[in-house]
């Protein structure tokens, strides 16, 4: 009698609609293989997919599916792969063994049992029926990537990333096939079947949107020239690009237009915008949705780190939170640097699931200079590898291009194509401000300068300083305040009021943290900037005379220092501010010229040293360990772009937000609601979050379903319409968390 093995069950006791194991394994194999098409590893991923649930060919699991005890069903596939396929098998084994729990270390213990421990464990007997149910390669040679470029400087790094990519293909294939099966059983739509706009359709919409722009002055003509020149490079080979354009030069839509042209020319699947700050994900997404018209909502997916569950806590809540499991199967992705890079170094299935959808894409790295110095070399290495072996074009898009090219930068980029026409001439043409060093200014002097100018912007280095300075001018006409202690929808409203006030040429005095520098389209005649890196000063300058309607001489950006230790730059920014001060003193011409920026970054990286640009020696660890002993879990723990943990709090400020919170009480699929709640989120330090929770000022929404995943502000007098969330200074002990 032929044995029937099942992968998934239903409530029907007769088992007639249960999913058979061969159907599941072959389907996952096919999906995983398709996911690996852009990096020539179809057979490798397909084999891993077929083996991922091999342990279900045991009596122990077949009893489990009928109500028996839990049993390890992942290790058998890893064991067969490692024994049959050598080094490639070992690579597959990491992902097969970890397709539920995550990638473990190879040998060293962590929170998970290391792979060697899993492979050495006693396992229930495996039926050999799989040999007739699955067609598997006879030798490793059949599975070797068909297109592969070796890098002699980082061979083990290449293997570790390939391991994560195969893991991604298997995890996503397993999730998709399981979801497809249950969607049919439950008679609900299968999410992957929803229609998505094509890149060709999106390009047509973008072209129509760009055609509405009017050329009224020199800056409009220059932007049009930049756009045309960048798009002329669409047929250039897949690889590394830079778009070096001064602030206000139209980088956002130019990079989008190039990316769509380039993706269509090379048969790539999507465009991924990587943005340094959560605060402007929604802003850029809104720009793209507007450009795509009626296709915008279906085309653009926003994804960042809000609502990410605490590891090891509330697994049921984590499972319900579908936003965490997004696999980036959309034409346009807008995400943060944190989400993008931490996923590429992650060991978690939820974060790694999307990695294969980074391949075969155009990645626009907005404000490339904002990558954290302590992780700069690992970030450069993974971008370079994506361009080398994963059919991914990377565009470094910024007004202050960091000096990341080889050989001056260790492990840097090679053969980078510049998309802007004659960047040096552009910077001269678009120079719109005069940078002045104001020396040391106390708060009284700052207050007086703000009072002396009817339209002025002051950008300071932390949220406490912003609140204090705003309080000193709150009685002035047009006084406004902006920081990330205000939820995004509130900030958007304030910015709208500021723009309207400036347009009407009425008094407008805005105190802000650095969040306003991240692509915010606003135009002041006079800007004060607390000392920071030269790139930050350039961004501040981009908020002065942005439209070019004033002369350069009457558009002033004053850079000042402060003697108040509470207002000093966070420790992470100190070396940047010190080096910027040196460059500004030495600059014979414009301190924001390309030459000055290159000198700044080159001197900064040299002063810090290559070792500190990989602060945890992640690249060294990977090369030293090799495939037998990769420390995936350790690397995940050490690659943290933000060291101080920030926790989300929902501000139920209007009827729309309150309605969403009510919906949470009555839904089992909260991913869509979580995304809609993002405009009402504030991220605060964990100590502030814990203090508010202990006092009852914030409380969980639907705790029986989601635990503490969704915390809302209950004591609304903590939130002020002028300041945002007002916290006692003792709640904000970590100065590095206060930058925005």
* Count of beta carbons in the 10 Å neighbourhood of residue 522: 19
On whether residue 621 sits in a domain, the answer given is no
Task: Give Cβ neighbours of residue 60 (< 8 Å, ≥ 6 apart).
Answer: 68, 71, 124
Residues 374, 575: Cα–Cα separation, whole Å: 12
For 537-640, list the strands marked E by DSSP: 556-561
The CATH number for 568's domain is 3.40.50.300
On whether residue 232 sits in a domain, the answer given is yes
The residue-averaged pLDDT of 504-510 equals 96
Residues 34 and 150 in one domain: yes
Residue 573 confidence class, pLDDT cut points 50, 70, 90: confident
Residues 243 and 297 in one domain: yes
At residue 640, does pLDDT exceed 80?
yes
Residues 34, 28: Cα–Cα separation, whole Å: 10
pTM for the whole structure: 0.89
On whether residue 626 sits in a domain, the answer given is no
> What is the reported pLDDT for 95?
98
Q: Which has the minimum average pLDDT: 435-439, 446-450, 541-545, 569-573?
A: 569-573
Question: Measuring CA to CA, how many Å separate 588 from each of 584, 593, 701?
Answer: 9, 10, 58
Residue 211 confidence class, pLDDT cut points 50, 70, 90: very high
User: Of 363, 396, 428, which closes a domain?
Assistant: 428
Residues 439 and 588 in one domain: yes
Residues 443 and 546 in one domain: yes
On whether residue 260 sits in a domain, the answer given is yes
- By residue range, what is the domain housing residue 147? 6-193
Q: Is the preceding peptide bond at 453 cis, omega within 30 degrees of 0?
A: no
Reported as a single tens digit per residue, the pLDDT across 583-601 is 888 866 688 888 889 889 9
Residue 318 confidence class, pLDDT cut points 50, 70, 90: very low
> What is the reported pLDDT for 84?
96
> What is the reported pLDDT for 309?
47
On whether residue 634 sits in a domain, the answer given is no
* Residue 134 near residue 125 (C-beta atoms within 8 A): no
The residue-averaged pLDDT of 504-528 equals 91
User: Of 381, 401, 428, which closes a domain?
Assistant: 428
Residue 669 confidence class, pLDDT cut points 50, 70, 90: low
Instruction: Determine how β-strand 240-244 pairs with β-strand 393-398.
Output: parallel
DSSP 405: B
The residue-averaged pLDDT of 572-581 equals 86
At residue 322, does pLDDT exceed 60?
no
On whether residue 198 sits in a domain, the answer given is no
Residue 78 confidence class, pLDDT cut points 50, 70, 90: very high
The CATH number for 139's domain is 1.10.3210
More confident residue, 317 or 362: 362
Residues 343 and 379 in one domain: yes
At residue 103, does pLDDT exceed 50?
yes
Structure tokens at 185: 């059983």
For residue 443, the SS3 value is: helix
Residues 272 and 252 in one domain: yes
Reported as a single tens digit per residue, the pLDDT across 219-254 is 788 899 999 999 999 999 999 999 999 877 889 999
> What is the reported pLDDT for 214?
83
User: Of 193, 214, 244, which closes a domain?
Assistant: 193
DSSP 643: -
Residue 729 confidence class, pLDDT cut points 50, 70, 90: low
On whether residue 162 sits in a domain, the answer given is yes
More confident residue, 59 or 492: 59
At residue 441, does pLDDT exceed 70?
yes
Domain count, the chain: 4
Residues 450 and 490 in one domain: yes
> What is the reported pLDDT for 279?
63
For 61-126, list the strands marked E by DSSP: none
DSSP 650: E
Q: Which has the minimum average pLDDT: 105-114, 458-467, 594-603, 668-677?
A: 668-677
């Amino acid at each position: 009698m032929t044995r029937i093995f099942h992968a998934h069950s239903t409530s029907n006791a007769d088992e007639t609609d249960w999913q058979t194991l061969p159907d599941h394994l072959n389907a996952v194999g096919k999906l995983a293989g398709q996911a690996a098409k852009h990096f020539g590893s179809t057979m490798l991923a397909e084999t891993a997919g077929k083996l991922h649930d091999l342990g279900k060919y045991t009596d122990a699991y077949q009893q489990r599916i009928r109500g028996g005890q839990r049993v390890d069903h992942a290790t058998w596939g890893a064991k067969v792969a490692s024994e049959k396929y050598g080094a490639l098998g070992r690579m597959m084994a990491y992902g097969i063994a970890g397709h539920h729990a995550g990638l473990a270390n190879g040998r060293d213990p962590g929170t998970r049992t290391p792979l060697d421990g899993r492979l050495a464990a006693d396992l229930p007997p495996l039926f050999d029926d799989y040999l007739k149910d699955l067609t598997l390669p006879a030798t490793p040679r059949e599975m070797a990537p068909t297109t592969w470029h070796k890098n002699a400087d980082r061979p083990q790094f290449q293997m570790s990333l390939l391991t994560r990519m195969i893991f991604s293909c298997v995890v996503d294939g397993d999730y998709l096939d399981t979801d497809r099966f249950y969607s049919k059983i439950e008679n609900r739509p299968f999410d992957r079947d929803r229609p998505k706009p094509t890149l060709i359709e999106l390009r047509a919409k973008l072209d129509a949107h760009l055609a509405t722009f009017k050329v009224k002055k020199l800056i409009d003509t220059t932007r049009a020239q930049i756009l045309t020149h960048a798009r002329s490079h669409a047929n250039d080979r897949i690889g590394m690009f830079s778009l070096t354009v001064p602030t206000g030069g139209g980088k956002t839509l130019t990079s989008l237009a190039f990316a769509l042209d380039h993706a269509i020319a090379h048969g790539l699947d999507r465009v991924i915008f990587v943005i340094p700050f959560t605060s402007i994900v929604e802003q850029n997404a809104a720009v793209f949705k507007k450009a795509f018209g009626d296709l915008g909502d279906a085309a653009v997916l926003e994804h960042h780190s809000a609502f990410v569950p605490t590891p090891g806590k509330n697994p049921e809540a984590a499972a319900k939170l579908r936003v965490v499991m997004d696999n980036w199967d959309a034409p346009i992705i807008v995400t943060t640097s944190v989400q993008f890079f931490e996923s590429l170094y992650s060991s978690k299935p939820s974060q790694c699931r999307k990695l294969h959808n980074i391949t075969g894409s155009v990645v626009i790295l907005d404000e490339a200079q904002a990558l954290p110095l302590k992780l700069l070399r690992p970030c450069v290495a993974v971008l370079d590898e994506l361009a080398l072996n994963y059919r991914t074009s990377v565009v470094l898009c910024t007004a202050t291009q960091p000096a990341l090219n080889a050989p001056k930068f260790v492990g840097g980029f090679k053969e980078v194509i510049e998309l802007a026409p004659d960047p040096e001439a552009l910077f001269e043409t678009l120079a719109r401000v005069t940078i002045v060093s104001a020396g040391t200014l106390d708060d009284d002097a700052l207050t007086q300068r703000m009072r002396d100018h009817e339209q002025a912007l002051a950008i300071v280095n932390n949220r406490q300083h912003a609140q204090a300075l705003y309080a000193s001018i709150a009685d002035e006409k047009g006084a406004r305040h902006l920081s990330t202690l205000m939820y995004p929808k509130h900030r958007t409203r304030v910015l709208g009021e500021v723009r309207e006030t400036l347009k009407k040429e009425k008094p407008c005095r805005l105190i802000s943290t650095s969040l306003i520098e991240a692509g915010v389209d606003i135009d002041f005649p006079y800007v004060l900037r607390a000392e920071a890196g030269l790139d930050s000063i350039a961004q501040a300058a981009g908020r002065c005379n942005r439209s070019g309607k004033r002369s350069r001489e009457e558009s002033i950006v004053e850079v000042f220092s402060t003697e108040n230790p509470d207002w000093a730059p966070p420790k992470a920014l100190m070396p940047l501010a010190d080096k910027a001060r040196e460059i500004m003193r030495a600059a014979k011409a414009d301190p924001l010229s390309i030459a000055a920026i290159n000198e700044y970054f080159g001197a900064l990286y040299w002063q810090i040293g290559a070792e500190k640009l990989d602060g945890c020696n992640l690249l060294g660890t990977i090369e030293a360990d090799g495939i037998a002993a990769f420390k995936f879990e350790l690397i995940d723990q050490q690659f943290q772009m933000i060291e101080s943990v920030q926790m989300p709090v929902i501000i139920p400020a209007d009827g729309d937000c309150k309605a969403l919170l009510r919906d949470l009480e009555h839904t089992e699929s909260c991913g869509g609601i979580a995304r809609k709640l993002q405009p009402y989120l504030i991220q605060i330090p964990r100590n502030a979050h814990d203090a508010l929770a202990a006092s009852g000022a914030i409380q969980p929404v639907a705790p029986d379903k989601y635990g503490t995943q969704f915390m809302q502000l209950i004591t609304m007098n903590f939130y002020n319409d002028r300041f945002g969330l007002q916290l006692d200074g003792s709640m904000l002990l970590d100065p590095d968390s206060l930058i925005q």
